[in-house]
Amino acid sequence: MSSQPTVKPPHYLDELNEVQRQAVTTTDGPVLVIAGPGSGKTRVLTYRIAHLIEQGSAPWEILALTFTNKAAREMKDRIAKVVGPRASNIWAGTFHSLFARILRVEANHIGYPSNFTIYDTDDTKSLLGQIIRELSLDPKVYQANAIKNRISSAKSNLITPKSYALNEELLAQDKQAKMPLVSQIYTKYVERCKRAGAMDFDDLLFRLYELLQNHPEVVKKYRQKFRYVLVDEFQDTNTLQYAIVKRLVQYEGSPRNICVVGDDAQSIYAFRGATIQNILDFENDFSQYGIQTFKLEQNYRSTETIVATANAVIGHNSRQIQKKIWSDKGHGEKIRVIREMDDNLEGRRVADTILEQKNRFHLQNQDIAILYRTNAQSRIFEEYLRRFNIAYRVYGGLSFYQRKEVKDLIAYLRLVVNPNDEEAFRRVINFPKRGIGDTSVGKVISLAGQQSMSLFDALRHVALPTRARHAADGFIDVIEKAQRKSATASAYELAEAIARRSGLLDFYRNDNSIEGMGRLENFQALLDGIKSFVEEDSVSDTENLPDKSLATYLQNIALLTDFDTEGDESKDVVTLMSVHAAKGLEFKSVFVVGLEEKLFPSWMSMDSAEGMDEERRLFYVAITRAELFLTLSYANTRYRYGKMTMNEPSRFLAEVPAEAVESTSYSRRSNDHEFDPLAQQRARVTGVVPPARLRGTAKFAEPRVDMENFQPSPSEEIVAGVRVLHQKFGEGKVTKVDGGAGNQIATIHFSDLAQPEKRIMLKFAKLQVL
DNA sequence: CTTTTGAGGGTTTTT
DNA sequence: CCCTCAAAAG
């Protein structure tokens, strides 16, 4: 909203190809965009929104739903580049965060406090475990995790506890699984969440759906508000999410300005209820309203070799929307396949290859990613990257907000904001230890159950032995004082006071172990985080004032994942993450590791055709992250639960076209000079890996050229016949140059090297003509 | 009520 | 292999 005269608007439309431009400018009516990997999907989405605003729409009329906070942030940033600070008023965010925001405003309609708690996965599991115990069921038969999935999937399919109890099919399934009482657990679970003023992740969707369903005046409000609705990664929406979106745009007299963007081939979240059926349904649901479909088929990310491989792989799936993904980036490097004897060697070989690529192609760490099927696989790669002195960051696993020490303080804060929060209560009632043990807590729980009151209220009234009573009063006092203080104090002051008065701060201060120090650091970091939340001038809504309350803070962080904790951002590090987590990202060089039957594809998915198809889509996602170099690896044996297991190579490897694979890949006795077969042997026999420094690094460590006088020449000057200087390899003679413009590869003979022939991509290499 | 010790069990993927 | 959770001792 700058009052300065608008500079000539950037010709953002010029940055688009024909189909992209149509997808951007067809603003009215239903639009379906099928977007292959690397086809400029995000660009279309962001420019479309920018275009809407340039055309006169108000930012707050636009609802853009994504799956990750990162995607939302990126979208907003990119829109801001076109339209300026107005972008901050767009309703762009994850389904969960935006819906939470609406629910906060409308909570009273559905009998929830507006400062409701959001239960994370741990809370959910803990509550389910509690209920299972209360019902005297065997926790080995009724596993909290399994029940959680069952309930989650029910909610995702719009099944309430009541309809669950009447659903013969579900009941039969439960019976078959020897868990006939899931239905009762579900009912109880929902009651308990309600009583605690808490919603789990699925509730954020389901409760909103019910709200829109049952309150005509509310749904009307949001229908009028959101004139344009966009959904990213539409193939990953579940039935419930689509039902909500439809409720918002599908009604009498609606302009039906809805745009969904997705790729059926990249649907990888069926396990949490996502269904490609939504794409097909979308076409049906809106066909009579002039739906327009655009297919983005040109891949701007990857070499032709990689695209061809991806196409060949996905071709093994049966059901898919017809499209032809293509690239004009030249063939580039072939795909390398690495086979090793065991997971340890796989780790080392990958680290080794990373080092090689960095030197040969002048890649930075941040150009490189290692992608695996399960997070547990990261460990070995971390180990070798550390040994090779390669900086890295592991994504996934537990996020900052899931650490014990962080959750402890958060639980106190949650209790201040919402004294009915049962899980928070149970977490901190006796932590730090204050002498309220299991028996006392048991009394509180049973009183709360009888009287249908909150645990916190029950604690006030329950009869306890003097000692425990005293402790309980102290605890109540801490919480109540903070509650009173919350009227005047900032979230930070409150948190700081709680940290001291609860005894948590002292507890962590007094822990002088190594881990203890780390915990204290995290604890402090949390406080700092709250402080910056309070101080930073976050975007103000046009409708609402910036909300700095503790309740808002808590609801925000409940929806953050590991990706949202910044910190080492902008550092030059190799990325390690699961394939799932890598969706939407791209790297110059990608290693897809652990390509073995029962691992990738996962054993869990192997008994059904749909499961296999999803695994294959996952593999498709993995390989299409690569721009230039793709390396696939597997090991013959691998440790699992400390036991060695034999593995067949993944069937997906056989689906990679042979002509796309580097011919030496399959041979262990490759003439790869970086490779030392003897070291390999030694490792195999002794189980000891020779120190990394002896290999790889030493070979490349000292530059053969003095950097001072080195001046890279433009790639045009690199032609067959000239003598050149390379930073690492020294002096050499170019024997030939091939590959299309922009992807030229020079073959150079460096006589100083053990293996003198090098193929170097001119795009990256720094070569000086002599 | 707290601490220690041992057995058993779990690994797909995430908001 | 590692972590969580339950029983038994302090």
SS3 of A445-509: the string is HHHHHHHCCCHHHHHHHCCCCHHHHHHHHHHHHHHHHHHHHCCCCCHHHHHHHHHHHCCHHHHHH
The single residue of A239, A266, A298, A377 carrying the catalytic annotation is: A266
* Dihedral sign computed on CA atoms, order A721, A725, A727, A729: positive
Measured to protein CB atoms, the chain B nucleotides within 7 Å are 1-3, 9-15
Rounded CA-CA distance A388/A312 in Å is 35
Query: In the 8-state DSSP scheme, what is residue A630?
Result: E
Interatomic CA–C1' length for residue A345 and nucleotide C10, angstroms: 48
Lowest mean pLDDT: which of A8-17, A76-85, A260-269, A298-307?
A8-17
| Distance from CA(A499) to C1'(B7), angstroms, rounded | 36
With CA of A270 and C1' of each nucleotide, the nearest comes out as B13
| CB atoms near residue A420 (< 10 Å) | 21
A2 annotated ligand binder: no
Q: Quick one: pLDDT at residue A204?
A: 96
Task: Supply angle C-alpha A307, A310, A312, rounded to 5.
Answer: 110
Which of these ranges, A360-369, A385-394, A601-610, A760-769, has the smallest mean pLDDT?
A: A760-769
A468 CA, B12 C1': separation in Å?
44
Cβ A263 vs Cβ A36: under 8 Å: yes
Asked whether A539 and A88 are in contact (CB, 8 A), the reply is yes
Contacts of A499 (CB under 8 A, 6+ apart): A409, A412, A505, A523, A527
A114 or A642, higher pLDDT: A114
> Is A233 one of the annotated active-site residues of the chain?
yes
Q: Containing H/E element for A377? A: none
* DSSP β-bridge partners for residue A298: A326
Mean pLDDT for chain A overall: 86
A458 is in an annotated binding site: no
Query: How confident is the model over A543-557, as pLDDT tens digits?
Result: 455 578 899 999 989
User: Any known ligand binding at A36?
Assistant: yes
pLDDT of residue A710: 60
Judge whether A42 is annotated as a binding position: yes
Peptide bond just before A432 cis, omega within 30 deg: yes
Q: Is the CB of A251 under 7 A from strand C?
A: no
What backbone phi and psi angles, to 5 degrees, belong to A755? Answer: -120, 95
Dihedral angle at the C-alpha atoms of A316, A321, A322, A327, nearest 10 degrees? -80
**Angular region, A397: left φ>0, alpha ψ -120 to 50, beta rest:** left
A315 C-beta less than 7 Å away from strand C: no
The nucleotide lying nearest A639 (C-alpha to C1') is C1
Cα A661–Cα A315–Cα A596 angle in degrees, nearest 5: 55
In tens, the pLDDT along A16-65 reads: 999 999 999 999 999 999 999 999 999 999 999 999 999 999 999 999 99
C1’ C3 / CA A394, Å: 20
| Residue A35 marked ligand-binding | yes
Q: Which nucleotide is nearest to A139 (CA to C1')?
A: C5
**A39 annotated to bind ligand:** yes
3-state class (DSSP) for residue A334: coil
Q: Nearest residue (Cα to C1') for B8?
A: A140
Amino acid A442 CA to nucleotide B6 C1' distance, rounded Å: 25
Give the 3-state secondary structure of residue A424. helix
Residue A440: phi, psi to the nearest 5? -65, -45
A490 vs A697, higher pLDDT: A490
The closest nt to A124, taking CA to C1', is B15
Catalytic residue among A616, A625, A638, A651: A625
Model pTM score: 0.83
CA separation for the pair A111, A289 (Å, rounded): 37
Q: Specify whether the backbone of A600 is left (phi greater than 0), alpha (psi in -120 to 50) or beta.
A: beta
Is residue A757 predicted with pLDDT exceeding 80? Answer: no
A96: nearest nucleotide, CA–C1' criterion: B15
Nearest nucleic acid nucleotide to A93, CA to C1' distance:
B15
Residues in chain A: 770
Work out the pLDDT band at A684, boundaries 50, 70, 90.
very low
Q: Which residue has better confidence, A291 or A136?
A: A291
Measured CA to C1', what is the nucleotide nearest A642? Answer: C1
- A741 falls in which pLDDT band (50, 70, 90)? low
- Is the minimum distance from the CB of A642 to strand C below 7 Å? yes
Is A735 an annotated catalytic residue?
no
User: Does residue A224 carry a catalytic annotation?
Assistant: no
CA of A174 to C1' of B6 (A): 33
- State the catalytic residue, choosing from A26, A27, A42, A160: A42
Separation of CA A475 and C1' C5 in angstroms?
Answer: 26
Please state, in angstroms and rounded to a whole number, the distance separating the CA atoms of residues A487 and A251.
Answer: 42
Task: Answer yes or no: is A302 a known binding residue.
Answer: no
- Cα–Cα nearest to A534, from A491, A584, A588: A491
Rounded Cα distance between A274 and A271, Å, is 7
Q: Which pLDDT belongs to residue A538?
A: 56
**pLDDT confidence bin for A695, thresholds 50/70/90:** very low
**Integer angstrom CA distances of residue A691 from A342, A359, A371, A638:** 18, 19, 25, 21
- The answer to whether A641 CB sits below 7 Å from nucleic acid chain C is yes
Point out the nucleotide closest to A129 (alpha carbon to C1′).
Answer: C5
Helices (H), A583-638: 609-623
Whether A41 is catalytic: yes
* Confidence band, pLDDT 50/70/90 cuts, at residue A715: confident
Q: Does the pLDDT at position A665 exceed 70?
A: no
Judged by C1' against the alpha carbon of A467, the nearest nucleotide is B1
The predicted structure's pLDDT at residue A682: 30
- Give the whole-number percent of chain A exceeding pLDDT 70: 86
Measure A339 CA to C4 C1' (Å): 36
Q: Determine the Cα–Cα distance for residues A633 and A346; give it in Å rounded to an integer.
A: 7
* pLDDT band at residue A10 using 50, 70 and 90 as cut-offs: low
Strand C contact at CB of residue A639, distance < 7 A: yes
Radius of gyration of chain A (CA): 29
Residue A40 marked in a binding site: yes
Per the rule left: phi > 0, alpha: psi between -120 and 50, beta: everything else, A648 is beta
Q: Between the CA of residue A649 and those of A339, A615, A640, what are the distances in Å?
A: 9, 15, 16
The token pair that represents A270 in the structure block: 């069926």
**Which one of the listed residues A120, A232, A304, A367 is annotated catalytic?**
A232
Calpha distance A304→A74 (Å, rounded): 27
A5 touches strand C (CB under 7 A): no
The stretch A364-390 carries a mean pLDDT of 93
Q: Which nucleotides of C are covered by protein (CB under 7 A)?
A: 1, 5-6
What is the spatial distance, in angstroms and rounded to an integer, between the CA atom of A480 and the C1' atom of B1? 26
Q: How confident is the model at residue A266 (pLDDT cuts 50, 70, 90)?
A: very high
In angstroms, how far is CA A472 from the centroid of its own chain? 41
- Distance, Å, A141 CA → B8 C1': 14
On whether the CB atoms of residues A250 and A285 are closer than 8 A, the answer is yes
Residue A702: pLDDT band (50, 70, 90) is very low
Alpha helices in A627-720 (DSSP H): 651-654, 677-686, 697-701
CA distance A491 to A471: 26
Given the structure tokens 């000057």, which residue do they identify? Answer: A717
A437 is near strand C: CB distance < 7 Å: no
Q: Tell me the Ramachandran region of residue A256: left when phi exceeds 0, alpha when psi lies from -120 to 50, beta otherwise.
A: left
> For A630 and B12, how far is CA from C1' in angstroms?
23
Q: Which residues contact A104 (CB under 8 A, 6 or more apart)?
A: A114, A115, A116, A551, A552, A555
- Identify the three-state secondary structure at position A551: helix
Q: DSSP code of A419?
A: T
In the residue annotation, A232 being an active-site residue is answered as: yes
Catalytic residue from among A21, A41, A339, A443 = A41
